[in-house]
Every structure is written in structure tokens, then in C-alpha cells.
Structure 1
């Protein structure tokens, strides 16, 4: 049973479209590569990566905030269709912001030049509850695959994130189309020498995925779609209980590890841990004070992530990584707790530091 309101922020309380911030067209990126030639910057993602979500509807520059916060990688949220039934994806569903060099091309090129990259993310609460998540909206598998490919060829990105919750996580037809499209893109990437990974971002309980989240992955296996990473939203449990957010992250991920072991019996435990990602929400989340991720929790989770060898450490969202609104829950622009600016970015970044001690 899905928790009603679950992850409303990952999902943008600020419905992305309501904010239509006339984003300046950020033109001038590198010239477009020939359709099937990977841009030179397309390096595969590292085995361990920190990639906080960036709220793309604010009008801010992801490259500037990445540099300011010390992040090399950001997950850009979100891509969705403008209307249900469409097969065209836009940033935040805004038709003036297509998948093109003019939208985020210069930013992504700057992040790549600094040794990082962007991870475009589809879906989120707003799209997943309005029929505008790409595979829910578009009934043509080839058209869905074409959108995924266009991100690889336009921006030189090497991972695509799919945030599936709300109505989308129970939409069997959309789930099947999405996984078929993933499998097609993976075969295309092998043929053409592109590097592309797919991650699923899914709601979780404190003990792992619920039945509908697991069904998404089972369908991927059935369709021959390789899922590289499963990101758990280890916040917004919506169960009315007080939470030790760091401890609950560990139990949720351990539960997912065992679920993945059943789905992928040939993979070693080490490989399974390296398929797992966790997404925190710094400070007071949108559920309330019972779900507060503290500065101490960040240290604990960072050490745990390094020790377990998990793939991705993330949080919602980069724009919240400051102490500008102590006592406020669920803000899109501050954590609600006393903290230094970029505290969570700097603490998590230790995961990928070259000489990070693994003890």
C-alpha cells in the first residue's frame, strides 16, 4: 500500500510548473556531437559517487552551485512531459526548456570539465501523480527510448535516473514500457560505444522496498533491462513513528541488499552493495520533526556508505544545504536546522575523496 503523500518534496511541493521561472537560455556549450558519437567527456560514473539532487526549476546554475558546494556530480530534477499522452520530455515539463544544449548544456559541459557530470532524473512526485512521467505518458517504447538516447547524445551524460513513486509505481503498463525502453537503450549503447547506466529511485520502508517497488525491479529483470543502481528514499517514511534516520538508512539498505540477492542470485554481496544508493533529506523533512536528518547522522551515514561500498550517496536537495531557516520543515531552500552552508555536501563528499580511510 503506498503511503499517501510519500516523498512529496522529492517530488517538489513547489510543483515545478507552477514556478515557471523564465530560465535564461544557457547557450554556447560545445558543438553538438554527431548523433552516434559519444562526446569526449562521456566517462562512466565512478563506482562510488555523491550526487545530490538539484532543483532545476529555480533558475540557478547547476555548475555554479556544484562548484560552490564542492560537488562534482548533481542529479538534475526533473524531466517530464508537458501534458499526459505526450512523448516529448522537457525540464520540469516546461515547453520552453527542451532537452537541448540551450537548456543546461553549458552547465553540464562545465561540470564535465571539472571531472564530474550530471544525472538527469525523470519523474518525481509532481510528474508521477499527474500522468506526465515519460513512460506513463508515452505509450510508444521506441519514442521513450529515443528520449533517453537524446540525453546521452546531447549532453554526454552517462547515467539516467528514474524516480518512480506516487501513481507511477503502481502503473503496470508504464513500468513495462519504461523497462523495455531501458533494455533498448542499453543494447543501442553497446552497439554504438556509449556508456549509459540507469538508476531507479524508489520509496522505501525502514526494512527495504515494498511490494510495488520490488515489482518494478522484477519487471526490469523480465525485460532484460539492466538496473545499475537502486536509490532508496531513506526519508519520508510517513509511519508516525520517531526515527533515528541514520539507523533506518542502514536497515532499509540491508533489506534492499537481501531483496536484490533474491533477484540477482549470481551477484556477490559486494556487487549487490555497489548497486545500492541512498537519498537523505538534510534537516527537517516534509513529514516533520520526527524525521530529522542531523549533522551527526550525515557523518554516520557517510562512514557507513564508505564501509559498505554503496554506489550512490545523495540528498534532496542541494538548495537545502544551508541553515537559513532553523525550525522550518520541508523547505525547498534550507534544511530547517542549524548548520554551516554546504555542510552535508562536504561531509558526504568524503565518500569519494581519493584517500578516504575505509575504517
Structure 2
């Protein structure tokens, strides 16, 4: 998933600091070598009660100024969002937006409060496609849990998303997540990479889910159905990847029925032009979201609200601030909202 700098984007902050962040970070190919967490803890994966309905949670680049979130809520009524990405600051294990701004940055806090004031919710996402991860910088699980808590408290959230697109110390991350969940009652989501439609989640992603389950972390799993090789229809490839991930989660969590597995899973797509050449059209997005709804997935999201406009039609590469295709403002948010709300019997809207 793209992080704040994208394809040469310059926010007011980045112009001031002349900072450029790399575009993508490669995920490790093999399983983690970290020590496993305590396997004696009860596995909660098979017994957690599933939520009802499919919830739309679009991602937003929290460093954008001004934030597009109030305008999104005005235009679409959608008041839920995931704020990304919290990274380690220059001094080490200190949570910051994009590695630069403090998590208490007034503009970010104001945008979050605007949504919660409308009855929505905001989640805080760490990690992302580039930058220095808190997960790799904090020296132990206790300090990582404190950093997570500081980021959540800054915007008044209890909803933590850990977006893992590079190698992380699995045992440390899992123990920190368990602490945050036990001490704060936080909701935890693992947003993870997909190899392709046939293989689903990467090997390290599967390892992290298994380790979390063994440690008793009640984790929602969100698959990034973006930036992978495919043939044929892109909508079909994203949907096939979704089905592969659901099958993987069913194998990882054999004590839960299919509905419970799906309810604790989600997908996130990249709207418009993606980093590796595919273009997600409005029809593609609608098909994917309807498939997620039909399968009973708990959440669906996209990267990102700041790109949900037609400001750069026909641009051949992905951009941080527009979709690269002709569209009206917030067209993807509206399409995803309607597709997520439609019942399977209704057919396309």
C-alpha cells in the first residue's frame, strides 16, 4: 500500500522539510525466525463472535493537508476511516505520522474528531509500504505497546491496524498486540500482503496470523488485494485472491465455521491506477465490494480517500492525490458504500 510520499507528492510539510520517502518496501520471502509466543494461551480465533454486516473503512493519508475526510463525509455520509501511517520518529520508538509529524498533530486530531462527531470511528494504522516501522524500532514488546497506546490516545481511538509489508519481529509484535488488547480492550487488525490470486497471503503473513492466534490475540485479518501479478480480469483476480485468503484462514482457524471466519476478515484494494500496472475501475471496485459483502466479510477498504478524485485522468502512473482515471469526486467511496450496503439478492446498483 502506498504511504504518504507516493509518486513525488509534496505536502506543505514535505515541501518545508524537502523529504522524499521511498515508494515500496519488499516483503520478506520466508517465514519469520523470531521465537514463537507462548503457545499455552487459549486460542480465541474459533470462539469470537462475528460482527454483522460489511463495514466500509477507507484509508486516508493522515499527512495530507487539508485532510479530505470532512469533505468525504459531507459528500458520502461515510464517517469511518483508517488513518495511516504511524511510523517511528527520528528519536526511535516514538510514534509519528509518516515518521515526521507528532501523533498529536492538530490537523490530524481535528479530522478524526470531525468523523467521531458525526458518529463515525477512526482506526490508527502503523506500518505501510515505506518508512521506519515502530515494530522494528521499539526494543521490546512493552515499549511497542506503549507506542501503540500513545498513537491511539492521540486521536481517541481503540482501533489499531498493523499494516505489515516488510519483515517484523513476530514475537515482539504479537506480545505488544496482546498487551494492547488486554489492557485497553483494543480492536486489532492485521493488514497483510497477498502473493497472487492462487497463493493468497504471503508466507510471513500466514506466520503472523498463526502466531497471533496462538497468543490469544483476537485479530481481524485484512488482505491487501492489490499490487500482485494477474491474468484476465482484474476484478476476477481480486475476487479470486479474496476467496484464496478465506480458504487459508479457514485452515488456520479450523474451529470456526465459514461465516465466523469471513466476519473476522476483510479486503483492501487500491483505487484507480495501482503501483504495478493494474487499474481498478469503478466497476472493478463495485464487483469486489459486492463479492466481499456476499461472502460475509467484516470489512472492506481502499487506498485512499485522497486519491478518490479525477484530478489526473489518463496519468500513466499511480499518484498520491488522484486516481489516474476520469471520475467524479469520491466516486469510489460512493460505489463502495452502496455495494457494501446492498444485500446479495438486490443485484448491482
Q: TM-score, normalised by structure 2?
A: 0.80
Find the residue that maps to 2:119 and give its secondary structure: coil
Q: Output the CA distance in 1 between the equivalents of 2:173 and 2:81.
A: 23
Which of 53, 62, 67 is matched with 2:59 structurally? 53
Q: Output the CA distance in 2 between the equivalents of 1:82 and 1:224.
A: 30
Which of 161, 181, 199 is matched with 1:186 structurally? 181
Q: 1:231 to 1:16 in 2, by over 3 A?
A: farther
Instruction: Tell me, yes or no, if the aligned pair for 1:323 and 1:334 is still in contact at 8 Å.
Output: yes
Which of 320, 323, 340 is matched with 1:332 structurally? 320
Instruction: Tell me, yes or no, if the aligned pair for 1:11 and 1:124 is still in contact at 8 Å.
Output: no
CA-CA distance at 1:150 after TM superposition: 2.7
CA-CA distance at 1:233 after TM superposition: 1.4
For the pair 1:247 / 2:236, whether they are aligned, the reply is yes
Structure 1 match to 2:207: 215
Q: Output the CA distance in 2 between the equivalents of 1:11 and 1:180.
A: 28
1:118-133, aligned counterparts within 5 Å?
Answer: 118-127=122-131, 132-133=132-133
Structure 1 match to 2:288: 301
Which of 320, 344, 348 is matched with 1:358 structurally? 344
Q: Output the CA distance in 1 between the equivalents of 2:334 and 2:6.
A: 26
RMSD: 2.5
Q: 1:65 to 1:137 in 2, by over 3 A?
A: farther
Q: 1:335 to 1:243 in 2, by over 3 A?
A: farther
Structure 2 match to 1:277: 266
Q: 1:320 to 1:63 in 2, by over 3 A?
A: closer
Find the residue that maps to 1:87 and give its secondary structure: strand
1:64-213, aligned counterparts within 5 Å?
Answer: 64-70=70-76, 71-83=78-90, 86-94=92-100, 97-100=101-104, 102=106, 104-127=108-131, 132-166=132-166, 168=167, 171=168, 174-189=169-184, 194=185, 196-204=186-194, 205-207=196-198, 208-213=200-205
CA shift digits 1:273-329 (9 cap, x unpaired): 1122111112221212xx111111122122212211111111111111112212222
CA-CA distance at 1:158 after TM superposition: 3.0
Gaps of 5+ in 2: 17-50
Work out the number of aligned pairs and report it: 307
Q: Output the CA distance in 1 between the equivalents of 2:154 and 2:52.
A: 21
Higher relative contact order (CA 8 A, sep 6+): 2
Instruction: Tell me, yes or no, if the aligned pair for 1:12 and 1:124 is still in contact at 8 Å.
Output: no
Q: Which moved more, 1:97-106 or 1:156-165?
A: 97-106
Instruction: Tell me, yes or no, if the aligned pair for 1:12 and 1:126 is still in contact at 8 Å.
Output: no
Gaps of 5+ in 1: 1-6, 24-44
CA-CA distance at 1:104 after TM superposition: 2.2
Q: Output the CA distance in 1 between the equivalents of 2:99 and 2:81.
A: 19
Q: TM-score, normalised by structure 1?
A: 0.78
CA-CA distance at 1:146 after TM superposition: 1.3
Instruction: Tell me, yes or no, if the aligned pair for 1:66 and 1:73 is still in contact at 8 Å.
Output: no
CA shift digits 1:41-89 (9 cap, x unpaired): xxxx975221111112221225423324422111111100124x82111
